[in-house]
Amino acid sequence: MRMVVLGLGYLGATHAACMAELGHEVLGVEVVPEKRDSLARGEVPFYEPELPELLKKHIDSGRLRVTGSYEEAADFAEVFFVAVGTPQKKGEYSADLRYVDAAIDQLVPLLTRDALILGKSTVPVGTAQRLSERVDELAKDLEVEIAWNPEFLREGYAVRDTLNPDRVVLGRFSGGRAELTCREIYGAILGADTPFLVTDPPTAELVKTSANAFLATKISFINAIAEVCDAAGADVKAIADAIGYDSRIGRKFLNAGLGFGGGCLPKDIRAFMARAGELGAAEALSFLREVDNVNMRRRTRMVELTREVCDGSLLGKRVAVLGCAFKPESDDVRDSPALNVAGQIQLQGASVTVYDPRAMDNSRRLFPTLDYAASAVDACDSADAILVLTEWPEFIDLDPILLGAIVRHKNVIDGRMCLFEDQWIANGWSYRK
Q: List Cα–Cα distances, 130 to 82, 182, 267, 305, in angstroms.
A: 15, 22, 21, 48
Which residue type sits at 299? Answer: R
Residues 6 or more apart whose Cβ sits within 8 Å of residue 46? 9, 10, 331, 332
Q: Are 236 and 254 in contact (CB under 8 A)?
A: no
Reduced to 3 states, what is the DSSP secondary structure of residue 84?
coil
From the list 18, 182, 264, 418, the catalytic residue is 264
In a 13 Å sphere around the CA of 107, the CA atoms on its Cβ side amount to: 37
Neighbours of 430 (CB within 10 A): 13
What region does 77 belong to: left with phi over 0, alpha with psi -120 to 50, or beta?
beta
Q: Who contacts 43 (Cβ-Cβ below 8 Å, separation ≥6)?
A: 52, 55, 56
Q: Report the alpha-carbon distance of residue 338 to residue 367 in Å, rounded.
A: 12
Residues 372-375: contacts with CB under 8 Å, at least 24 apart: 373/320
Q: Please, what sign has the CA dihedral across residues 167, 173, 174, 179?
A: negative
How is 202-221 classified by DSSP, letter by letter?
A: HHHHHHHHHHHHHHHHHHHH
Whole-number Å distance between alpha carbons of 24 and 104: 23
* Sequence letter at residue 294: V
For residue 295, the Cα-to-chain-centroid distance in whole angstroms is: 16
418 part of the active site: no
Contacts of 29 (CB under 8 A, 6+ apart): 4, 5, 6, 7, 8, 66, 67, 68, 69, 70, 73
Scored b (16 or more CB within 10 A) or e, 170-194 reads bbbeeeebbeebbeebbeebeeeee
Question: Cβ atoms within 10 A of the Cβ of 137, count?
Answer: 8
Per DSSP, 87 falls in state P
Residues recognised as catalytic: 264
